Amino acid sequence: MKILTWIARIVFGIAFMFAGFTKAIDPLGSVYVFDDYFIAFGMEWLMPLSLPLAIILNTVEFIVGIAILLGLKMYLSAWAGLLFMIFFTPLTLYVAITDAVPHCGCFGEAWVISNWETFYKNLVLLAAAILIFMRKDKIPPLWSHKKDWWLVGGITIIVLWLSVLCLRNLPIMDFRPWKVGNDITEQLKPVQEGKSEFVFVYENTKTGEKKEFAMNDLPSAEDGWQYVDRKEIVIKEHIASPIENFDIRDEYDIDHTEKYIGNPNYQFIVVAYDLNTTSTDAFTDKINNLANKAIKDGYSFIVLTSNSFEEIDSFRHEHQTPYDFYQSDERELKTIVRSNPGLVLMKDGIVISKWHYRNIPSYGEIDEKLMQ
């Protein structure tokens, strides 16, 4: 039982710590997942609470994981771990059955698993949580109860600080397809092109026999064969591209994705997924000035947003933006950069750098450090 308890603590503790850390460094990613859940369950009125709930959940998840792994405050941490799994296991079963959200976001963007894989993972963690709860009195504290409180408090402060740091800037680790250094032209291509062929089912009206035939070997009706059905046989499974549903379209619905993403010169892209909630000060105080100088030097400068072109025209007029705006998918824009707005510098399809709007440098700094 001691060995099983240690295995349960290691599995449960590492899983919770990994989940808490990967979401703590990307709090906005957790916010978007909370929003998906609230929309799926018709609880949109709770969306204003997504950010505080995300930070609280990520912090508690990490604390529970490290507490169980190290044996800190086992009575409280065992109860917390068990309650976590009692709540989330049936929830993830429902999500797996209904496919209510794209994915659970359990491990942020570091490890995206399907809804059914999430449920199976939770079954394992539920079994571990039950064993830990049953054995909680047999697990000794790491130090004294007083020192344990100091350690838990210190870790809590660190995790909260990390979440706020990554919220006000960009995640310190980027697991998304748009991370710095990635070739987006490659990320837009399928990982594997699918291949399939059709076979045709015929029934012999004389003998009642059913048989499958290839396209180039179809039987003759004179021999009594009559068409019944068609089947598709997958020879090679299609694996979608890491970046899906992304394009750059103008008001006439013309696709400019290849033009801008594959631009062999330096390409500036401002990502503002929602102009109604974006930081307008970032446009007037930083982006407009940077754009003027970049365009003057012959570089392309555009904005991607999910708003309608009526809203775009109103925004451009109000904030005097001397550059082109295009539409793109809101979910993908949120994936590109965790900031509204955020700035991306690319060249020949490669992501050179990204900035939160709070940290957008001057054009001179960008030119000197990244464009020489």
Give the end of a domain, one of 152, 168, 184.
168
Domain residues for 91?
Answer: 2-168
Whether residues 8 and 62 share a domain: the answer is yes
Same domain, 69 and 113: yes
Tokens standing for residue 285: 């105080």
Q: Domain for residue 186, yes or no?
A: no
Smallest CA-to-CA distance from 326 within 245, 257, 276, 262 is with 257
In this structure, the answer to whether residues 149 and 218 fall within a common structural domain is: no
Closest to 28 measured CA to CA, from 163, 205, 176? 163
Query: How far from chain centre, in Å, is Cα 349?
Result: 21
> Over the chain, what is the mean pLDDT?
93
Alpha carbon distance 238, 260 (integer Å): 27
Are residues 106 and 26 part of one domain? Answer: yes
**Location of structure tokens 């939160």:** 356
Residue 1's pLDDT is 84
Average pLDDT over residues 32-45: 93
What are the strands, taking DSSP E only, across the chain? Answer: 195-204, 210-214, 225-236, 266-271, 300-305, 324-327, 342-347, 350-356
Band of residue 233 on the pLDDT scale cut at 50, 70, 90:
confident
Number of domains in the chain: 3
CB 38, CB 168: distance < 8 Å? no
- In the predicted model, is pLDDT for residue 372 greater than 80? no
Q: So what's the pLDDT on residue 58?
A: 95
Per-residue pLDDT of 155-181, as tens digits, reads 999 999 999 999 999 999 999 999 999
With respect to residue 302, please indicate whether it lies within any of the assigned structural domains.
Answer: yes
Buried b (16+ CB within 10 A) or exposed e, 202-223: bbeeeeeeeeeeeeeeeeeeee
pLDDT at 262: 94
Could you tell me if residue 33 is inside a domain?
yes
Q: Which two tokens stand for residue 54?
A: 């995300």
Cβ density class 8-43: b for 16+ within 10 Å, e for less: bbebbbebbbbbbbbbbbbbbbbbbbbbbbbeeeee
CATH of the domain at 302: 3.40.30.10
Write the pLDDT tens digit of every residue in 12-27.
999 999 999 999 999 9
Q: Assess whether 201 and 159 both reside in one domain.
A: no
Q: What is the mean pLDDT of residues 221-242?
A: 87
The reply to whether 228 and 264 lie within a common domain is no
What's the confidence (pLDDT) of residue 11?
Answer: 97
Give the pTM: 0.87
Query: Residues 366, 305: one domain?
Result: yes
Residue 252 lies in a domain: no
Residue 184 lies in a domain: no
Q: What is the mean pLDDT of residues 288-305?
A: 96
User: Is residue 182 one of the residues assigned to a domain?
Assistant: no
211 lies in the same domain as 270: no
Single-letter residue type at 85: M
Lookup: tokens for 124: 């394992």
Look at residue 178 and tell me if it is in a domain: no
Say yes or no: 159 and 292 in one domain: no
* Same domain as 141, residue 59: yes
Of the pLDDT bands very low, low, confident and very high (cuts 50, 70, 90), residue 220 is confident
Examine the pLDDT at 207 and tell me if it is beyond 90.
no
Q: Specify the DSSP element, H or E, that contains 154.
A: helix 145-168
pLDDT digits (tens, 9 = 90+) for 318-337: 999 989 999 999 999 999 99
Cβ atoms of 65 and 17 within 8 Å: the answer is: yes
Residues 120 and 45 placed together within one structural domain of the fold: yes
